[in-house]
Structure 1
């Protein structure tokens, strides 16, 4: 019984029964000469196929909405009333077949979301009282130790506390090459161990995992309406009643009821209504499968218009892991270690990213330093601290000027020389004199130059770097990557002003940053892009586009996909409108019947869906990226810079 119910509930059950009744009707009428039986079977076929359509029409009317179902229902009922049973059966049967095909193909456009849901882990192996216990993934307790064996799915978000393994993170980042994980590394639910064994401390469980947030985000995004879709919805609310008025007027003027009913069928805006959402679902689904989360249809449309990309430097163009490279001694009474030690004293209480490489270098050389008694950050210039009763400054030349320290030019010259070599220099002053300069350098991402070239290939006119670093360092980065324009020495509010200036000039601007000091610029930009968002719940939920991995080439890939999606949307609208106009002309000129009209109408719906499904195919720019990367290696500066 349950199996029969399942079959009856299937999308193909109604079309199959209706089609069978139509065949039996022809057999009874043409082969057996049983005209009445043939008519009854044809009416039965129309009723079977039309029941769901009529129910949908009634529900739409109760919701004060005139939809396609009402047009088909009125046409079918009218055909039965005038004894045109074949037309009634054909229209409802073809509409039912179209619905079934539409549902089947729409399911394929949501394949990426279904794939994400499928990788969600069901069970976990945890350590409890020294024993391995298998529990439901959602039953894992925070901070509990979870075991991940070779070939198993990672059931939770967590931190590796022991072991090593190669983890396939394709479900999260879109990258199929396994990533080596060891103690201290983060792992994500839904990823798969391809080798090794891990002990993981659970930090995210169930709905709190990165995978769950991605699934939720993609569900919301695929249902979010683009501006074009909202326009089409408003258009259809007026268009559908307009078709009914046209059909009524044509029937009254011509006295031809068949003409009026045919116009109802021909005028169905099915392909037009579905043209936008099917493309959005396919585009956002394809992006999610590649580790690119797009907030919704409106942001997909906006991304297709991006002509300027503004990027932060540290952590975006560079790796964000600077190292100490130089220590310049200006005071002849001091040693290199003395200058480094004073720098470490100044940075000991700082949260600035450049503090860590100085402290790491001091630790490596065994230098002792204590936390300063007082810390005063000077925005855009550096910090002033009190350590051991002495004032210590570390920052740029403007910091020294603010505190009235006179430089004989040696500190400025040393800083400028280091900056020209692609370093980030910091002058150290103790009390009233500059004693030295330290410099750190960040590693340029290997794919930074390829990203810039790929953005240009994707139609972006200008790539601009907005950075708080000094001009010479920023210029070195631009030379190494092919960035078109550089704006250096910027405070967070300066980056905001730079984005606004670009927007006032008529550009559609995407801002790529880390979401912290770049937050104002990210918020004001037409599209805010978060890099490496897999470990950040905030980035996943708030960024207009979240690139789950650290692959810079995902950015031009996202823009290219957005342009393809908008192109498909426009093609679909054109297909739908041309079909309706051609059919209406065919009705008035003669030759297009109700059944032919419905057949062509359903065909246009399927063409629109099939066109959108092309977006599900992955178009990789890997070959182009490799080519531009090789060119960058030949023509640019070495990758080692700041």
Structure 2
């Protein structure tokens, strides 16, 4: 039989690096697309093939470095031909398909975007269980909010090129509801065990230390073979880390030095010395791992709240279709209360649009014919006909999610100069130990040199300080997610604030009432405005009603009324024809504003947004409104600028005039004001500051801030911020108070001071002991006292943040 039109009728809808979407010109017969997809999934370099037989579409995700688009199209054509070589398609067994995209890979770590985990909690749980059961996977970080999955693995069984393919199979497998009650129970128990592994690693070293104490100072008769064997088993984690560093990084690290010293000391039957070394080493590792833990996942996405169906007008007929079937150039119809599903331009209608989800601004804006509108924004009033231009991931909202995905992946364990110095000292220490042994032929003296390695004290004191600082911060209502966030916070010298909801309160408030003449009272103007605006849902109307209630104004009944979107309201109040709205609204009604401008020249100078009130054709007055500053904003900005010396920037999706008003109150320089900024602009400002060599903190609370938060060195949000912002942030201010930011920086700087102190506490005794061990010689136990004693003192000193009480930035400088 002749091949259906599919063989020659595939149309490329869009093509990106690593992603190709095609659509059949005519509807293919049932199962054809899936047969083709199954063949393509067997090809190297293809990560996933998703089909939609309703729309006749085929979405292929592939590795562009292995497969060009032309090669992919060739493979596709071959798959189509082989599908019809027998003259008919064969029935297939369908398996659930999962759309996903390979985002980033570094040795030992790979990142995927899986949209399904943002809305399918059961799938996410099954996927976590499968990954937890794979013994090659050592870390899983699933962020439902950003549809992101980051996996850390041991690159021994699978190469860095094959591991993504192995993980892709698990991603597909998780779509099958295979998990029985028992397997769920086992997987849950396994996850619980993994969470407790950090501290459980201390059980064996502690037991071995007790055994060594009983066999040594206490004098019990315990075979040296038993004690030595126990020490050998307890030292296996140290050996594994040393071996991994040699294999993966081709270098010797502190673990190798520790292992050598433990081996020599144990061979000399100094069991208490070697067991105490192991205990201190594993204590430091346990603390480090626990400071690396980030918070659990939430589920929210800029695009996830869009409706599943959309109204479109095709061939002069209105029809409701699935959102996936919307095409560029379609006319999309959006009614009041609905979210706009596409980016495009208005071809008919006027509407009041809430853009807060995308720009962060609480004030709705009026959009009319020929103006641009964006997906994920909400039509509060009015009806729009929109020419669709960009869909799904290509919209501004979709690109914001892509920005978050593409943000750098940082190691959550603290990076500190002291640890680097300790690693650099490994080879010199080994050489010195070898020289001492060559000169003295004494393994004990050589072991004494190797025992004094600097690393033990640093491994204990640095993470102890970090953990103590994070505990103290939590007591103060500040959640710091990792040691790296604490370290970056202590070094911040540029701070970027979102305006709305961060520096301001995020709600419209009335800040002033002006009247045209002394005989008209402000209360009368407020009475007329409140009577006209009652029961309207516009934020300014709600602000008027709140202010009227606070002033105990009696709300007069409203008669016939007419509301015009973007202009204002006309109503009958006690027999008077009252108009409340914009300057254009009153001017269209023939009412002059000159009298008010002449009486109150400060109206334009202050620059506050204004609504005007008129009665029976006469202007009565005006109400000024704004999104007021948080009470603490001025104090916090002043402290950050004067005490910290930080450069302060303000980002906002609001217009330049309103941005300047807020900046003027906070004394922010004009060149540091970034107005009318969409999410990608916020990320660009952060990247530009980082490229200038600055350590950047970004503070924001909305979905629109997520990209900026993701690219900052350290990101800060509020407890009441959006779920995406909270999940993206490194630091969460649980009290919703900006003063917590200065407190967090003070705690971080204090921790940094203690780490510097502890470096000295560890270095001075160990350098002295090293000099003595290399010259006159030291018993291994004495060398251990030098090394472990300084480690204990530094560890105790590292606990000071817990006992220091609350800290301020001024005191902490």
Identify the TM-score tier after normalising by the shorter chain. 0.5 to 0.7
- For 2:256 and 2:696, locate their aligned partners in 1 and report how far apart those are by CA, in whole Å: 44
**Higher RCO, Cα 8 Å, sep 6+:** 1
User: Unpaired segments of 5 or more residues in structure 2?
Assistant: 1-199, 247-251, 297-408, 572-578
**CA separation of 1:24/1:553 partners in 2, compared to 1, >3 Å: closer, same or farther?**
closer
**Structure 1 residue 459 displacement after superposition:** 2.0
Q: Distance in 1 between matches of 2:705 and 2:266?
A: 66
- Mapped to 1, the partners of 2:211 and 2:562 lie a distance apart of 83
Q: Quick check: 1:301 aligned with 2:483?
A: no
State the match for 1:438 in structure 2.
623
Matched residue, 2:414 = 226
In 1, the alpha carbon distance for the partners of 2:786 and 2:772 equals 11
Once the two structures are superposed, the pairs formed by residues 522-541 of structure 1 within 5 Å of their partners are 522=709, 525-531=712-718, 533-534=719-720, 536-541=722-727
Alpha-carbon spacing, 1:495–1:13, altered in 2? closer, same or farther (3 Å): closer
1:289 to 472, 475, 481: 475
Structure-to-structure mapping, 1:202-601, within 5 angstroms:
224-228=412-416, 232=419, 239-240=425-426, 243-252=429-438, 255-267=441-453, 269-311=455-497, 315-324=501-510, 326-328=512-514, 336=525, 340=529, 344=533, 348=536, 350=538, 352=539, 354-358=540-544, 360=546, 365-366=555-556, 368=558, 375=565, 383-384=566-567, 409-410=594-595, 417-418=602-603, 424-426=609-611, 437-440=622-625, 445-452=630-637, 454-455=639-640, 458-461=643-646, 468=654, 483=667, 485=669, 490-493=675-678, 507-515=694-702, 522=709, 525-531=712-718, 533-534=719-720, 536-601=722-787
Q: Shift in Å at residue 433 of structure 1?
A: 12
Query: Does the CA-based 8 Å contact 1:293-1:546 persist in structure 2?
Result: yes
Equivalent of 1:607 in 793, 796, 799: 793
Q: Match of 1:631?
A: none
C-alpha displacement of 1:268: 5.9
State the TM-score, normalizing by the size of structure 2. Answer: 0.46
Note closer, same or farther for the CA distance 1:248–1:499 as it changes in structure 2 (3 Å cut). Answer: closer
Inter-partner Cα distance in structure 1 for 2:754 and 2:537: 54
Let me know the Cα RMSD of the aligned residues: 5.6
CA distance in 1, matches of 2:643, 2:482: 21
Q: SS in structure 2 opposite 1:264?
A: helix
1:95 aligns to 2:277 (yes or no): yes
Report the count of equivalent residues.
475
Counterpart Cα distance in 1 of 2:699 and 2:683: 12
1:18 equivalent among 212, 216, 229: 212
Whether contact under 8 Å (1:279, 1:612) holds in the other structure is yes
Change (3 A) 1:370 1:253: farther
> Which consecutive residues of structure 1, in runs of 5 or more, have no partner in the other structure?
1-5, 29-39, 118-220, 376-382, 626-642
Structure with the bigger percentage of helix: 1
Output the CA distance in 2 between the equivalents of 1:11 and 1:77: 15
Shift of 1:554: 0.9
SS in 2 for 1:23: coil
Preserved CA contact (<8 Å) 1:56 1:69: no
Q: TM-score, normalised to structure 1's length?
A: 0.57
Question: What is the CA–CA distance in structure 1 between the aligned matches of 2:439 and 2:649, rounded to whole Å?
Answer: 64
